[in-house]
Every structure is written in structure tokens, then in C-alpha cells.
Amino acid sequence: MEQSVAPQALPYVVDIETGASILKNAERVLIVGCSGTGKSTLAQAVAELRDLVYVSMDRDIFWLPGWKQRPRAEALALIRQAVDGPRWIIDGNSPSTLPLRLPRTDIVLWRRPPRWVALSGVVRRWLRFRGKVRPEMAPGCPEQLDWAFLRYIWTFEKQEAPQFAEMLGLHGKHVPVVMLRSYREGDELLARLRDGR
């Protein structure tokens, strides 16, 4: 079994129909999930539909040109500044920063397809942007792919997902979570949001 955190282990999981209904009025949205699962694409689509400020944690918080990590204190200050805003959608993981983000969040969209989907997604992304900087990344950080990153993706459900579940239990019991296990489910959520269903 690839999934290490069952939906029933989370405090407040809702289906896509309910999630779309909540999302219609949500002012502050988090999107989390493994790299290569379409977090940024979904975040930008929701931002446009709901007129929310789009914050990419990779581009706006964590990375400086040349793949240099922003100092932790500075990154945390930027996260606090972002979540203090009235209307936003934040795309990115970093379970250790969820205590800052979850208390202000109206809904979490969790991309959780099988890991082969994530692996194929990052390989396709690398082929598309190889040697270039994709729009969701900080300037001066061209697309990279190495074994360490592939290993991170392969072990994401085992290593990272339990941390999300723990943070949701501690800091987000009030926050509804929509599990999106395929691109199709993400498309369905967007279609419902567009149609107002």
C-alpha cells in the first residue's frame, strides 16, 4: 500500500463536491502535495477563478537566485506576511511552516496521486524547462533533476505525508481537506468551481 496516511486519519476530509462549495467562498487556500502533481497549475487556476493572490513558496519564499536557500528567519517572516493578507492561495509544502499557515486557512487542497504520476510529472517538467526557469520558481533557478529529488518523490508518502497529517491534527482541525488523487479529480474540482455547482 503506497498511501501511508488514510483519509480517516485526518480530522476533516471532504469530498470534491463539498470542497468546491467551500472553495467558492474561501478567502485563503493552501495547496500541498508531492512535487510533479500539478500544485502550481491548480493554484494558478483557482487564483484566477477566485481572484486570489497567488503565492508560490518556491518562488516567493524559499529560493534565491542560483538555488541558494533564503535564510530561515527571513523565509518565516515572508510566510507571516503572506498569511496576514486577506485573500490568497499558497502553493507549497514545508510541513514545519504549517503552524503558521493553517490557522488562517479556509481549505486545503492535497494533491495525492500515485507516485508514478508525480515521477512522470517532474520528468515531463524537466524536459519542458530544462536549462530554463519555470514561472513558479525563483529567478536564476533553472530546472533541475537528480537522484536525491527522485528519491524524495519516491518516498514522499512515507516520509512527508505523515507530517502533513500531524500538522493538520495539531493546527488545522477546523480546516476542510480535499484529497485529489488524480489530475481528473483536480479538473472536476475546477469544473465545479467554474460552474458554481
Structural domain of 160:
11-195
CA dihedral (117, 119, 123, 129) in degrees, to 10, reads 80
Return the pLDDT at 136.
87
* pLDDT above 90: residue 88: yes
Q: Where are the alpha helices (DSSP H) in 114-171?
A: 115-129, 147-154, 156-159, 161-171
| Residue 2 Cα to chain centre, angstroms | 19
| Helix, strand, or coil (residue 52) | coil
Domain-located, residue 4: no
Residue 41 falls inside a structural domain:
yes
Is there a domain that residue 6 lies in?
no
In a domain, 1, yes or no: no
Question: What is the per-residue pLDDT for 13?
Answer: 87
Asked if residue 182 is part of any domain, the answer here is: yes
Which are the contacts of 135, defined by CB distance < 8 A and separation ≥ 6? 59
Q: Is 92 left (phi over 0), alpha (psi -120 to 50) or beta?
A: left
11-45, pLDDT tens digit by residue? Answer: 688 999 999 999 999 999 999 999 999 999 999 99
5 found inside a domain: no
Evaluate whether residue 174 is within a structural domain: yes
Q: What is the mean pLDDT of the chain?
A: 91
Whether residue 111 has pLDDT greater than 50: yes
CA atoms within 13 A on the CB side of 141: 18
Indicate whether 2 belongs to any domain: no
This prediction has a pTM of 0.90
Tell me how many domains the chain contains. 1
Task: Decide if pLDDT at 47 tops 70.
Answer: yes
Which residue did the predictor score with more confidence, 166 or 31? 31
pLDDT digits (tens, 9 = 90+) for 129-161: 998 999 889 999 999 999 999 999 999 999 999
Q: Output b/e per residue, 154-188; b: 16+ Cβ within 10 A.
A: bebbeebbeebbebbeebbeebbbbbbbebebbeb
| pLDDT at position 102 over 80 | yes
Q: Quick one: how many helices (H) and strands (E) in the chain? A: 9, 8
- Per-residue pLDDT at 5: 55
